[in-house]
Amino acid sequence: MAERPLDVIHRSLEKDVLVLLKRGGEFRGKLIGYDIHLNVVLAEADYIQDGEVVKSYGKIVVRGDNVLAISPVEIE
| pLDDT at residue 5, rounded to an integer | 87
Is 80 exceeded by the pLDDT of residue 74?
Answer: no
Give me the domains of the chain, ranges plus CATH numbers: 5-72 (2.30.30.100)
Does residue 69 contact residue 8 with C-beta atoms inside 8 Å?
A: no
pTM as predicted: 0.89
Residue 34: name the closest of 56, 17, 54 by CA.
17
Lowest mean pLDDT of 1-5, 44-48, 54-58, 64-68, name the range: 1-5
The Cα-based distances of 21 to 1, 6, 64 in angstroms read 29, 18, 9
